[in-house]
Amino acid sequence: MSQPDAPPRRTAPTTLLGLAAATVAVVAAAAFWQSRPAGRTPLPAPGLAAPVDADGLRGQGYGVTIAILNAVYGAFAETDEAAIYDGLATVAAGDALEALYLERAGALATGGLPDQVVHELDLIDGTWRMADGAMTADIRWAVLAQVGHDEHTHMRGNAYGAELTIAPAAGAWRMTDFRLTDVDRTEAGTLTTPPDGDGAVPAAPPG
């Protein structure tokens, strides 16, 4: 005797409910991730071996700022525009990257800046504060550099003040804003070396 046909299988209501619950969970997790306060995700930072979040960045503000300044001066020592941009892009982004690149590339194109090699860079003062997941640094630093012209080379020391903003950009902590607030050459002085290299002639502080 033949067996009656088995009734068609139906999707259990619990399966549909499970799929709906899983979808809701995924959407909620994505919303939570996007709504997290800025600066909570650890990111690479200039001069640091391991990624840090905003609190960690604040604790390492001095070292990060020094690393940014050294990278900027290193990029400015390049004479190829692509190398200048690439060097700056390792520590800067957005308005800061554009402004610094245009300053150096424009000066090279017009001969507006002499070549220089930085021998010493000291961060002599600074305050660091966090707001909205970004760090603002009000700093003052001094640079001793060998400056070269067609006629001679000389050592020059200048002091500067600036306000920097360091924020998440392109997957890392980078300088996103740069505002120069002071340039002090009053006690810088120079040591000039004639083209023939015979002796050094003390020069008056640059104006």
What DSSP element (H or E) covers 136? Answer: strand 134-148
129-133, 152-156, 183-187: least confident range:
152-156
For residue 33, what pLDDT is reported? 37
CB atoms within 10 A of CB 6: 6
**Strands 172-184 and 201-203, sheet pairing:** unpaired
Q: Which of 124, 119, 123, 122 is nearest to 145 (CA)?
A: 119
Which CATH fold topology does 53-203 show? Nuclear Transport Factor 2; Chain: A, (3.10.450)
Name the more confident of 197 and 121.
Answer: 121
**pLDDT value at residue 21:** 53
| Confidence grade of residue 84 (pLDDT, cut at 50, 70, 90) | very high
The H or E element spanning position 144 is: strand 134-148
Residue 194: is its pLDDT beyond 90? no
Instruction: Please give the pLDDT value at position 48.
Output: 97
Query: In the beta sheet, which residues pair with residue 161?
Result: 140, 182
* pLDDT band at residue 4 under the 50/70/90 scheme: low
pLDDT tens profile 158-189? 899 999 999 999 999 999 999 999 988 765 54
- CB-CB contact of 73 with 143 (8 Å): yes
The domain segmentation of the chain, as residue ranges, is 53-203
Amino acid 26: pLDDT: 44
| Residue of 139 and 194 predicted with greater confidence | 139
What pLDDT does residue 29 have? 43
